[in-house]
Amino acid sequence: MWRARRHTSSTAPDLSKKEFKKEKERLTTELHLLIQLRNEQRDHLIDFKQSSNYNRTKPTQKKNPFYEQLRSTKNQVLSSVHKLEMGIIEAQENIQELNKWIDYFTNLHSQLLMEKNLKMPVTQNQKNKEVEIDWALIEKYLVDLNLNGRTGADQQP
């Protein structure tokens, strides 16, 4: 019997497209309203269950006067834990940002050292040429002095 299919009768007149669209919109809005009502009632039921569990006590059992204090302490602890977790997340983001900057400056330092090492042979070559020029001038000066000294010594005896 549960496998029997429902047969709908086609006694309803065929609806035009406009009427069909209006009927569809009406049913859709009605469905949304029913869903909203159901959700509200469910929320009220959940709230009622939670509050009734708190207020419900056994006839022989009295409410603990420190329960509210314990509850507020629990909320404070949970709030502190949440703040600490957010602080940890922020610190991790800061660490990642700092690591990016460290990598950037390390690469920059390496690049500057490479450029310095490339420029060093060029400056060494320039200094060597300057020293060679100075040496050649000194050598020429000494040769000139030596020649002048010989000619002066040759003339004295």
Q: Which residue's entry shows tokens 């269950």?
A: 49
Higher-confidence position of 139 and 95: 95
Could you tell me the residue ranges of all domains in the chain?
A: 17-56
pLDDT of residue 5: 55
Terminal C-alpha separation, the chain: 153
Among 24, 117, 89, residue whose Cα is nearest residue 81: 89
pLDDT of residue 1: 43
What integer is the mean pLDDT of 5-13? Answer: 53
| Residue 58 scores a pLDDT above 80 | no
Using the Cα atoms of residue 116, residue 122, residue 127 and residue 128 in order, give the sign of their dihedral: positive
What integer is the mean pLDDT of 7-13? Answer: 53
| Residue 154 scores a pLDDT above 80 | no
CA angle 87/93/96 to nearest 5° reads 140
Using the Cα atoms of residue 27, residue 32, residue 34 and residue 35 in order, give the sign of their dihedral: positive
User: Is the distance from CB of 63 to CB of 57 less than 8 angstroms?
Assistant: yes
Higher-confidence position of 91 and 16: 91
Tell me: the pLDDT tens digits for 17-56? Answer: 889 999 999 999 999 999 999 999 998 888 888 776 555 5
pLDDT-based confidence at residue 142 (cuts at 50, 70, 90): confident
d(CA 152, CA 157): 10
pLDDT of residue 156: 56
Which residues neighbour 23 within 8 Å (Cβ) at sequence distance 6 or greater?
15
Mean pLDDT of the chain: 81
Tell me: the pLDDT tens digits for 83-125? Answer: 999 999 999 999 999 999 999 999 998 898 888 888 777 777 7
The model's pTM = 0.35
